[in-house]
A and B are shown apart, each in its own frame.
Chain A
Amino acid sequence: MASTFFGFSIARRGMSAHQTALNVTAHNIANASTVGFSRQQAVFQATTPAGSATGNRGAGAGMLGTGVHIAEIRRVRDGFLDFQLRQQLSKQSNWQERNEALATVEMILMEPSDTGLSNVFERFWGSWQELSKNPTSGAVRAAVVETSATLASSLNSLAAQSEVILGDLNVKAEIAVVDINALSSQLAVLNEQIVTNLGAGLNPNDLMDRRDVLLDDLARIVDFRALEQPNGAINVAVGGRHLVQEGRSVPLQSSLVEGEMTATWPDGEHLAFSEGRLSGITAARSFISSEFLGRLNTLAAALHDSVNVVHALGQPLSAAVPPSAGADFFYIPTAAAGQEARHIRINPDIVANHGLLRAAAPAPAGLADGSNALAIARLRNALMPSGTASLEGYFAGMVTDLGVEAQQAERIMLNQESLTNQLQNRREEAAGVSIDEELAFMVQFQHGYQASARLLATMDEVLQTIINLGRQ
């Protein structure tokens, strides 16, 4: 036989459980817009029923329920989706980074347009054609020097701008390492707090949400493996080495290795990664420096070599100058090997004295001959000294390859974007707060609370009957 006040405690528990549930609902609604927040659920559980299966139990219909309590407040979250999403986030920011860098190169290239390098090349060849027809005209000679100077400075500025882009990428890599360090130390702190709370039997839901946000952020920078430990800590390994282990994090360093900003572990080992922003930066940097700037240098060197060889064969307008004066048309300092495009210019002697332009074929041709200028103009369709393409063909190849690379980066980035969106939606589907749902719960819990309170009043009335019995 249950005690007289038995029903009171059921009603009290009902009120208290519904009040807690209402508070959880309030927390959910308040965090409806919080990034990374997972909705929480108060889990109602019937309390242990009164009585037990022993021989001296009182006679009765069976075990009498004792009411309800909140067994746990848990967050609704699918850990596998997090894993999938982080992989895709890494890929997405990898291609996004590449796309941005390549789009910048496309912008400085300005092709196809009327102002790009290919047009400057056209004017260059055209001026030599004109010189071949008018080798003695000062105006035409000046035009050759002017268009050639434009060609050289276009190459200079393309190379300089690519170097600026490469420098920016280095800065980005450095910032990425700083970000990794900030994230890993925060992760270590959160790990510690979470382990402590879990040890005390508490569910640190909001701390875990914050940790998940940090892991998402980290995934955008670099790909990693997250290993959840039995005590609730999450260890993070990048390229097989622990970046975060329980409450400890390893700070990374960044240093310039052969002109490239590289992330290293404290002992000097290079950080290994295959996705994420860092990977995108590395890939873009190597494409720009070898496939773009490198080929620009090859182009400049080939222009220098082939024009100079032909130019040196000719004779200048005045026979009175020493034979070696102005033999080279283009000039690249010896120290500029590997940076030809950045440093190519016209022989300063020729700039000072246009008469040194060697338009005429060697003697016995007269000084008013233009066939050497024509020979230079015809280099337009000649193969480069080292390659299988003409100078312009080589440049067109560069433009096409850049276009293909940039197009691919953009396409993959857009694909990844929709993939991550889909996964994010699926995560939201489980973890996101729906105001309508919370409102429905609110009404339900409110009714539960009201009913429990009403029960208390009924119990009170019932007891009144007994108490009033003695008053007669």
Chain B
Amino acid sequence: MRISNATLRNNVMRNLHSSLREMSEAQRKMASGRTVNVPSDNPVVAARLLNLNATLHESAQFQTNVRDGMAWLSMTDVTLGAVGEALHRAKELTLAGANSTLPPEVREFNAREVDQLLRHVVSLANSSFDGSRSLFGGTHHGGLPFATTELPDGTITIDTLGPTEGRGAISYEIMRGIEMQVNIPGAELFQDGNVFGALEMARNALRATPTADIQDSLAALDQALSTVLDARATTGARQNRLEMAEMRYDEERVTLTALRSKLGDVDMAEAIMNFNVRESVYQAALGAAARVMQPTLLDFLR
């Protein structure tokens, strides 16, 4: 084979270029820390990374939803606890009023305290979650869900909430395609469950001269208490479910992140090794080029 000077030069340049290209590729991987920088680096891995990222984002969103749901539910639980205490106190006051020896003015005091308890329960029913959403308002928007009217005798009565809005469910998506209702609709609990009604009844019974209605109102208060307890039990059960979901998402995130890292992250030790190997190949190519291009016959002619 005849080797011309151009052949030598071409070969040297080609070898140097391919060494340099490999070095720059290795450098790019080291600098970005990623095995796939553009889809053509590895289309299959690129597609899997896109899917993994989408799944990670989706489950992160569901996990946020679960946490928001748990916050909502514990807020509901605390509020319902306070409602329960108010009902207990109202029951004590009403029981005391059932004693026929009690002077009427003391019974009137009790009635006023029950009225205050009613106002307290209304404000609890109007409480909001993170300042913008009403805990028990269902899907009602604009103003408080439970408005009250002051009566001439210094007590209040409750305006009823719109028939459907107050029963509207608020659901969070906690898993792909699975929604969970997080709210206890106030119209169902406080109106259908007769919580306000029992308190109003007790207040009015304490004021009435024949105390015959007191026994009925005690039964109503018991009924209301058990309704609130039921709601708390439902809330607790939902909290348990969300806690399990949250644990699952924690585990899922660890698994998916590990997989993504395995697919998409550069093994630094290997990358540095590769780079060093290529660097020495490049240096060897330079050395060889310098030696093979240097001498000509001229050096040996006198």
Contact = CB atoms under 8 A, between A and B. Distances in A.
A125 B11 CA distance: 55
Contacts of A429: 1-4, 7
A121 B164 CA distance: 35
Contacts of B4: 39, 428-429, 431-434
A365 B172 contact: no
Contacts of B40: 102-103, 106, 402-407, 410
Given A374-B179, A432-B4, A421 B10 contact: yes
Contacts of B3: 429, 434
Contacts of A419: none
Interface in B1-28: 1-7, 10-11, 14
B173 A378 contact: yes
Interface in B85-113: none
A435 B47 CA distance: 54
B170 to A, nearest CB: 7
A198 B114 CA distance: 125
A367 B36 contact: no
A403 B42 CA distance: 7
Given A137-B132, A432-B5, A399 B47 contact: yes
Interface in A101-121: 102-103, 106-107, 109, 111-112, 118-119, 121
Interface string B175-188: 01101000000000
Contacts of A430: 2
B1 A129 contact: no
Given A118-B50, A366-B139, A381-B176, A403 B39 contact: yes
A107 B40 CA distance: 11
Nearest to B2: A429
A153 B297 CA distance: 67
B61 A125 contact: yes
Contacts of A184: none
B38 A365 contact: no
B68 A443 contact: no
A352 B177 CA distance: 32
A403 B38 contact: yes
A197 B34 CA distance: 62
B7 A421 contact: no
Contacts of B6: 32-33, 428, 432-433
Given A112-B264, A137-B132, A435 B139 contact: no
A302 interface: no
Contact of B170 (A370, A400, A432, A437): A370
A172 interface: no
Nearest to A32: B5
Residue from the set A106, A133, A369, A397 with the largest chain B CB neighbour count within 10 Å? A133
Interface string B280-302: 00000000000000001110010
Nearest to A366: B139
A365 B51 contact: no
A-side interface mostly: helix
Given A369-B139, A436-B297, A400 B11 contact: no
A111 B39 contact: yes
Given A112-B39, A136-B133, A126 B54 contact: no
Q: Contact size class for B?
A: 35 or more
B196 to A, nearest CB: 20
Contacts of A368: 133-134, 137-141, 165, 168
B132 A434 contact: no
B168 A118 contact: no
Interface in A403-450: 403-407, 410, 421, 424-425, 428-437, 439-440, 443
A122 interface: yes
B172 A133 contact: yes
Nearest to B168: A366
B53 interface: yes
A150 interface: no
B49 interface: yes
B81 interface: no
Contacts of B142: 367
Contact of B38 (A107, A364, A392, A395): A107
A133 B65 contact: yes
B38 A122 contact: no
Interface string A435-468: 1110110010000000000000000000000000
Given A425-B7, A428-B10, A396 B297 contact: no
Nearest to B264: A112
Nearest to B140: A366
Contacts of B42: 403, 407
Nearest to A399: B39
B78 to A, nearest CB: 19
Interface string B125-136: 000001011100
B160 interface: no
Nearest to A400: B47
Q: Among A33, A401, A425, which residue has the most Cβ atoms of chain B within 10 A? A: A425
A187 interface: no
Contacts of B54: 118, 121-122, 392, 396
Contacts of A401: 43
A385 B296 CA distance: 73
Contacts of B170: 133, 369-370
Given A406-B39, A407-B42, 13 more contacts: A39-B4, A107-B38, A109-B39, A129-B61, A134-B130, A136-B141, A365-B168, A366-B162, A396-B51, A405-B40, A406-B38, A425-B10, A428-B10
22 contacts: A39-B4, A106-B39, A111-B50, A112-B46, A118-B50, A122-B58, A126-B57, A129-B65, A136-B141, A366-B140, A366-B164, A367-B139, A399-B43, A403-B38, A403-B41, A403-B43, A428-B7, A429-B1, A432-B2, A432-B7, A437-B2, A439-B297
- 5 tightest A-B contacts by CB? A432-B4, A403-B39, A366-B139, A403-B43, A366-B165
Interface of A: 32-33, 39, 102-103, 106-107, 109, 111-112, 118-119, 121-122, 125-126, 129-130, 132-134, 136-137, 317, 360, 364-371, 374, 377-378, 380-381, 392, 395-397, 399-407, 410, 421, 424-425, 428-437, 439-440, 443
